[in-house]
Structure 1
């Protein structure tokens, strides 16, 4: 009897708000959802039974809840089995347009379906709560925010498999929505979140996986907090108005981790790892983990980590931190803690003592490692040979570094499985030293792990050949090879290449930045420089410019000479062209135009046509006979929407296609 009474109390407590107002059932009371809404009053609940409903509806300003039976039972199978679809006229399935606020709720429904193209929800000057729904394949958007709309969008699952390249899970045109704790799983033709709002937009606690672009930002003030963005083409792609990136993990994206950071963009406590290029653009970066070095135009605000963050199992998408991660207890939260959620994505308390030093400090990244239990300890002594360095500035550790005292004595703790590990000691202008196979056992102290660091500050770290890059002006299509050798005993990271006065590009497919050159190794960079045809006043004009190579917080300038009289080492292009070839356009992405180069090895009729992803012809760029040589053609996309286009070169015996990405 006591057990039955307890269950009754639980049921009454969980449904109290429903029992004190009217409940309308679909289809039992009304087969049409809109009819049920029309019959409802503020405070009422509309419960939809499992089934497929090819209907549209609007809440018409009413403060009501529309849900599946999940609201009563907490059984998630009701979310999957209660499906709203409609694809007849391109209008959304659900419309909010009469100043609805957060008391108008859509909960526990599947919106969209795999077999019918449809749009999801539109909020126009409305701010409802949209929570715990599943958004499946739709036509252009899952949720669109227009006008002064500030909806709460939380705990939804966006499963975007649509091949339409213009599809967005959430499309923010105006307003200040709260986008928190959602999951986005997509394809390389979709965008998870697109933001063009002039208001403050906070995107927090979300997981975004597998999109063409995770977050496409063209807004005025965007804050990205505690998100995981991975396996996309671009993690974050936007303008220079992103205000804050705090405790995000942005990993293993095919091209950029983030593109478009500005000089005022603040990046704090973030992990960038496994992306082809972590950050493109300037930013103020502190207490973040990034491969090798910061971008050459970034501002270093200190506390950054340039080593492997040690994910638990990135191969199987587990981006939590191991006990030997250098990201444990190394973040910053003093002035930013008010912006952080209480829990991480794994529902761990957000600030913990993960490295057993009895001080709770936030971790770097979107996950917080739990409190260390029964840690192991390592102790030893450090000395310096030569130089004027201070021993207390030495970083020593297996993961998060510790510092010795003024006498060189140190001890640190860590919580890892019993095994053998490598202890590392380093100090600027001293050679890094590693001691391998140090035994670590929980509850015990491994003693006498001692270091002697040697001063090292060579006059020359890299050697560059040739000392001058020479180009023919205007029609010189050949790249020049710049050879860079690490002549030092330390790792060299190339962090940037810059030419100040002219457009240039290099082979980013085979040379990514940052680029590591180990001691004694070399690398080649192929450099192209574009001079607009007709820009020279006289045929023998000589132009002198310079290219700057940034590395290890240093830089080296390489002169560039543009001289049409230099022909002794340049062969006729026709002698080197042996095959048809359609080069990748540059720049890519582009806005509004891009240049496409192609090679013709013999006299041939050439067609170059741009198509959209549905195979429709967009523009015919070339349709004529060409003689042997290399050619350029411009494609202008000023009147086209953003998306992927296909450029196809066609002859009687050869064809090749390249993807062009127009990004506005």
Structure 2
């Protein structure tokens, strides 16, 4: 009977339903992380409390998540220098997840921090630092397709090795489709090999996207260590998209080095910023050293910048007479050579240019584009593999230089859409009544007891509006306002005015208003929030309307004073864009209409006697 009870208990434990996923807590449920992995079933989570765990892990082929509850700042897996800290070598797939640890003090020939062999796990949001080894010191991948994302891979060191294929940060070898994205790969050091940040050796079709690869170094190889940032050799048809590769050092190809055999596609570099890398061998490619690829290899929409006196792009011996495709790049070397080797100077050909890209603050690591950068809107928006967002996650293909045409910028960042300043549409300016000075060749805006309508086109203005300002420049009061001056307010028209049986207006609440009620005697106001004495807006148009005075701030101009008047009309424009309106119009009025006089404003058409066109009413849209 006792044997039967034991058998039944064993059967119950081994047949836990797959849907009943379990969280195993370390050290509450299991004393070590490896013990928890051993107890876990596919779909389970091993949740590790903060602390330092001196152990080495193997996922044992399980589709489980091993995660730190407090994150890498407080949860450390220390390999104690005894070998690789974390190993995946039993066919694990993307459902095997390592997340949220600091992984340190590992040491192995291939892989110090993490080793992946014939597996494709997910390695996410870890800090992998202070490891040693001969290749793939931070992470080593052999014959697998892992996703390596959002990690900090820093301060890993290779030295004293007589073999290996490099990669102080990450090494990928063997055909596969590894994805490396969103990582910071920095300050890794490799002596006696190549590939300070990333080494791709017969790596298949890896994707390297949205990483920051900076300050990695390689040395100790004769005649030259290669690939301070990325080293690409043999059958490695890498797609390298939208990375910052800066401040790395190598003998040649300090930013990126590639040498692939005949018949290989070779890498595609798209929308990268590769700048201020140092090649210690003169003329051998500070930004990129490219050699031995066929026609499908390409450099498109990149910014390649060499330090003073160096060569930005060096081309070696190509296998195809038409290779490579170099299109829409800014290749610039201040006091140096933009193109070296057999590339030939591509400046002015296929959209390529050679100009200082004017970064915001490169000395502080800010390689975003300044407002006056010549590479804003200078790329090929239709190029293959163009990302939808930039390295900061902001939308690509916007009108960064405010010329009315949206195009992608060169490099890893998109300059935010510049302010759009638009003058008032001449045919939408209307001053009714006997004081109408808008007629003739030089119309002029007037605000008096009859209000003024002012309109602007919304063509080319998209979502993402941050601020919209309506500005007028006061020419002079046409006649005295009295000692109290004049209060000016602006109201969005819910629908554009229409010529015909009166002016049909819907009035939104005032953006800025103070004073008397709104007496629109020349319109039929149909806004439900505004009272109207007209009983039927279809047949009556002279009913008038009143609105309560708003408590918001007002603009005051005392008699004899001239200058700028402006309103924040952001909400008005946002609502118009949401409604799909092609234009927007405002009613400009004097709120204290019991006072005499009127105010004149410069018009869009202007004249020497009636105003300056440069001071026309404007709507400025900021993004």
> What's the TM-score, normalizing by structure 1?
0.50
Q: What secondary structure, in the 3-state scheme, does the structure 1 residue paired with 2:332 have?
A: coil
The residue that corresponds to 1:194 in the other structure is 199
SS of residue paired to 2:76:
strand
From 227, 251, 269, give the equivalent of 1:245. Answer: 269
CA distance in 2, matches of 1:319, 1:210: 14
Q: Give a deviation string over 1:138-192, Cα, whole Å, max 9, x none.
A: 0121111112x00001111011253637562111111220011110111454711
Q: Which residue of 2 aligns with 1:370?
A: 416
- Residue of structure 2 aligned with 1:144, choices 140, 143, 157: 140
Q: Which residue of 1 aligns with 2:246?
A: 230
Structure 2: distance between partners of 1:330 and 1:88: 50
> Which residue number corresponds to residue 176 of structure 1?
177
Confirm or deny that 1:96 pairs with 2:88: yes
The offset of 1:345, in angstroms, is 1.4
SS at match of 2:239: strand
- Whole-angstrom distance in 1 between the partners of 2:315 and 2:379: 22
Q: Deviations over 1:432-477 (max 9, x none)?
A: xxxxxxxxxxx99989xxxxxxxxxxxxxxxxxxxxxxxxxxxxxx
* 1:155 matched to 2:159: no
Q: Look up the match of 1:548.
A: none
**For residues 364-383 of structure 1, what are the alpha-carbon distances to aligned partners after superposition, in whole Å with 9 as ceiling and x for unaligned?**
00001111124599xxxxxx
Structure 2 counterpart of 1:538: none
- Higher mean alpha-carbon deviation, 249-258 vs 79-88, is at 79-88
2:360 is the counterpart of 1:297: no
Shift of 1:116: 12
Aligned to 2:128: 135
Q: Residue 306 and residue 167 in structure 1: after superposition, are their counterparts in 2 closer, same or farther (change >3 A)?
A: closer
1:329 deviation in Å?
A: 0.8
2:97 counterpart residue number: 105
Distance 1:28 1:101, change over 3 A: same
What is the CA distance between 1:229 and its match in structure 2?
A: 0.4
- RMSD across aligned C-alpha pairs, in angstroms? 3.1
Q: Are the equivalent residues in 1 in contact too, given 2:45–2:64 (CA < 8 A)? A: yes
CA distance in 2, matches of 1:329, 1:145: 38
Work out the CA distance in 2 between the residues paired with 1:341 and 1:335: 10
Change beyond 3 A, Cα 1:238–1:296: closer
Residue in 2 that maps onto 1:286: 327
Residues 611-659 of structure 1: CA distance to partner in whole angstroms, max 9, x if unpaired? xxxxxxxxxxxxxxxxxxxxxxxxxxxxxxxxxxxxxxxxxxxxxxxxx
Residues 107, 131 of structure 2: 8 Å contact kept:
no
Matched residue of 1:250: which SS?
strand
Within the alignment, does 1:321 sit opposite 2:321 as a pair? no
Question: 1 CA distance for matches of 2:378 and 2:112?
Answer: 44
* 1:298 CA displacement: 2.0
- Report the Cα distance in structure 2 between the residues aligned to 1:187 and 1:26, rounded to whole angstroms: 31
1:258 aligns with 2:288: yes
Partner-residue secondary structure (3-state), 2:37: helix
Counterparts of 1:115 and 1:204 in 2: how far apart (Å)? 28
Q: Is the 8 A contact 1:87 1:119 kept in 2?
A: no
- Provide Cα deviations, 1:84-135, integer angstroms capped at 9, x if missing partner: 1114543x11111121111110111111149999811111111011111100
Q: Which has the larger radius of gyration?
A: 2
Contact kept in structure 2, 1:321 and 1:368, CA below 8 Å = yes
Higher strand share: 1
Which among 92, 98, 112 is matched to residue 119 of structure 1?
A: 112
Q: Which residue of 2 aligns with 1:511?
A: none
What do residues 475-516 of structure 1 show as CA deviations (whole Å, max 9, x unaligned)? xxxxxxxxxxxxxxxxxxxxxxxxxxxxxxxxxxxxxxxxxx
Q: Deviations over 1:250-290 (max 9, x none)?
A: 10011121113445331110111134221111533111111
CA contact (8 A) 1:79 1:133 kept: yes
Report SS of the residue matched to 1:171: strand
Q: Within 2, Cα distance between the matches of 1:171 and 1:251?
A: 23
Q: What secondary structure is seen at the aligned counterpart in 2 of 1:36?
A: helix
Give the superposition deviation at 1:207.
Answer: 0.4
Residues of 1 paired with 2:326 and 2:271: CA distance?
12
Q: Is the 8 A contact 1:199 1:219 kept in 2?
A: no
Give 2:26's aligned residue: 26
SS in 1 for 2:413: coil
Q: Secondary structure at the match of 1:361?
A: coil
1:532-567 alpha-carbon deviations (Å, 9 max, x no partner): xxxxxxxxxxxxxxxxxxxxxxxxxxxxxxxxxxxx
- Cα distance change, pair 230–33 in 1 and its aligned pair in 2 (3 A): same
Distance change in 2, residues 1:238/1:108 (3 Å): same
Aligned pairs, number: 357
Does structure 2 conserve the Cα–Cα contact (< 8 Å) formed by 1:246 and 1:267?
A: yes
CA distance in 2, matches of 1:86, 1:22: 27
> Which of 376, 382, 386 in structure 2 is aligned with 1:340?
386
* Structure 1 stretches lacking a partner, 5+ long: 1-17, 71-77, 378-442, 448-664
d(CA) in 2 for partners of 1:314, 1:445: 40
C-alpha contact (below 8 Å) 2:184/2:211 kept by paired residues: yes
Could you tell me how far apart the structure 1 residues matched to 2:209 and 2:354 are? 25
Indicate how the Cα distance of structure 1 residues 322 and 296 shifts in structure 2: closer, same or farther if over 3 A, else same. Answer: same
Assess if the C-alpha contact under 8 Å between 1:354 and 1:369 holds in 2.
yes
Residues 88/226 of structure 1: CA separation in 2 closer, same or farther (3 Å cut): closer
* Distance in 2 (alpha carbons) for counterparts of 1:291 and 1:84: 44
Task: Describe the shift of the 1:445–1:272 C-alpha distance in structure 2 as closer, same or farther (beyond 3 A).
Answer: farther
**Is 1:261–1:279's contact at 8 Å kept on the other side of the alignment?**
no
Q: Secondary structure at the match of 2:132?
A: coil
Decide whether aligned partners of structure 1 residues 95 and 114 sit closer, same or farther in structure 2, where only a CA change above 3 A counts.
Answer: closer
Choose the corresponding residue for 2:396, options 350, 354, 360.
350
**Alignment partners' CA distance in 2, 1:303 and 1:326:** 12
Q: CA deviation at 1:341?
A: 3.1
What's the offset of the Cα at 1:354?
A: 0.6
